[in-house]
Structures are given as C-alpha cells and as structure tokens.
Structure 1
Amino acid sequence: MLIREALAADIPALVALRMQLFCEVGELATSEADPALWQATRDYFTQSMQEGSARSWVVEVDNALVACGTLALFVRPPYPGNLAGREAYVLNMYIRPAWRRRGLAGGLLDAMLAHAREQRLGKLWLHASDEGRPLYERLGFLGNPACLELSLST
C-alpha cells in the first residue's frame, strides 16, 4: 500500500472514485449516469492541479487506486488565529468498500494534515458523513453548529 500525492495521470481514477462516492450517497444511479458531471469533474481536477488550487492524495494497492482525498485551497481575509487567511476544505474522501476499516482514511488524512501544516494553512474544514465523523473527531476536528449552507443551484 502506497499513499502519495495524486499526479495528472491519476485524474481518470480520481473522477471514477468521486462518481462512486456520488452513487453511494444516492446522488447518482450509476457512475456513468451523468457524462457532463464526469467531464466537469475531470476538468476541475485538471485545472486545479495545474493552478495548484487543490491537491489530492491517493492510496495505491497493486497499481490500482483504492482511495482518495482532496484539499481545495483558498485564501480569505485575515482573521484572529489565521493572519495569512490560508485554509483548505477537505473533500472527495472516498475508500472503495472492500478497503474500508484498514486505516486508509487515517493514512490519507495524515498525509493531507502534514501538507497543511507544512504550508501553514490556518484551518481545515469539511462536511463529514456519520460514518467518517469519529475519525475526524479523533484527529481534532470539532463540530460547528453555526455553519449553515445555501445551495444556489437549481
């Protein structure tokens, strides 16, 4: 098992893993159900890797990617405790079902947290599934009941 930062050659696998995530949470019937979403996701990973606006990590086993996670990087105005305003949103955390409960998510998060500390990011945040919440809490993530979300898409 190898945990490493994703390369451009990994983008098709990152997209496939993300589509599987959408299937699992009930947002897609099949991985191929929305070709436009597939292409938009591929474009996102391609552009964000080129710009450095997001970094992804993967778990590779026998030359196959079985898990992934992404940090979407952004800068806000400075605030108390984060004078640089640099933050990241943790997303795209997905482990293929056959590989769950083997420490892969923790390994991915360790690599992502090491990068965040190295880059001196002031804060990481995420939206956790019920299944993932205990892992994030063990790593020090805290709940924030003040966080509200507004979807502007129709």
Structure 2
Amino acid sequence: MLETRTATAADAATITRHRHRMFVDAGRRDTPVLQVMSQHFEPWVVRMMNEGKYLGWLTEDSGKVVAGAGLLLLDWPPHPLDPHSTQRGYLLNVYVEPEYRRRKLASHLIEFALAEARRRKIRVVSLHSTDEGRPLYESNGFRQTNEMFYVEPVES
C-alpha cells in the first residue's frame, strides 16, 4: 500500500540518491561531477532540514521509498507576483522510481508541497523542469517564465 510521509534528516541518503538519479534519468551522464554533487548535497540537505528550510515528502510502498519531492524555502524580496511575502518556494528533487511512474505519484507529492506553501502563505513556487517533465508541472498549475541564469565556468 502506498503511503506518503514527511521526510526527516535521517532520509538524507535517500533524497540524495533520488537527486542523483533524477539528473541521470534527465539525460545527464553519470560522471564524477554528479558524484561530487551528491557528496556535497547530502550534508547540505541535512543542514537545510534541521534549519527548517528544506521540507520533504516520501512515498513508500510497504516501507520501501519509491518517490519523493522537496520544497526549499527561500528568502525573497517582495515582488509584483507576491508583494507581501518575503519568501518564495522552490520545488526540487521530484523523483519517482521507474517502476512506479505514470501512477500520479509525482502529482501527489507536488500537491503536498503546494499545500505546505499555501499553509505558509507563500504564493510563488518555482522549479526547473526538463522538456519531458513540463507537462507534469503544467498539469499541476505551473507555467513557463522568462527566467535565465548564469553559470561560472568550472576550472579544471
């Protein structure tokens, strides 16, 4: 039976594995860069959870974690989309094990994250999506924006 629960810092290794697999499944080669990312992500997510800045949910099937998602709470200046709030949510680490996909587990987890954002009166939640994931997020009320980003080149 599928049940969703709140993630704890004790789940950091599972959340890290999901994050790693999310990037691989999205088409990124499983390179040493992803290993380094995972090594740095796990203690980071523990710290963020302990500080109450990362909220997570995990769906289990008979005790086995099969899906997860997180909501990062960000300090953010008041904005025309939400002129009163000083926080924004960032949805991340949405991952479903391959054999459990197409069962609406991701949508269910997104609903948990959005409900928590609403409870906290956070009106703006953003995310980054692959082309394949875009229909999932659009069906859950997300829309494309004009966001851009700059990445400093990595020195070898």
What TM-score, normalized to structure 1?
A: 0.89
CA displacement at 1:46 relative to structure 2: 0.6
Partner of 1:132: 133
Asked if 2 retains the 8 angstrom alpha-carbon contact of 1:89 and 1:126, the reply is: yes
Structure 1 runs not aligned, ≥5 long: none
Partner of 1:142: 143
What is the distance in 2 between the residues matched to 1:83 and 1:70? Answer: 24
Cα RMSD (Å): 1.8
Partner of 1:54: 54
Structure 2 runs not aligned, ≥5 long: none
2:43 partner amino acid: D
Partner of 1:38: 38
CA gap 1:8/1:143 in 2 versus in 1, 3 angstroms: same
CA displacement at 1:26 relative to structure 2: 3.5
The sequence identity of aligned pairs, in percent, is 32
Partner of 2:87: 86
What is the distance in 1 between the residues matched to 2:21 and 2:40? Answer: 15
SS in 1 for 2:144: coil
The CA deviation string for residues 57-107 of structure 1, in whole angstroms up to 9 with x for no partner, is: 111111111111111111212123331221111111111111000010011
What is the distance in 1 between the residues matched to 2:36 and 2:144? Answer: 34
What TM-score, normalized to structure 2?
A: 0.88
1:56 partner amino acid: G
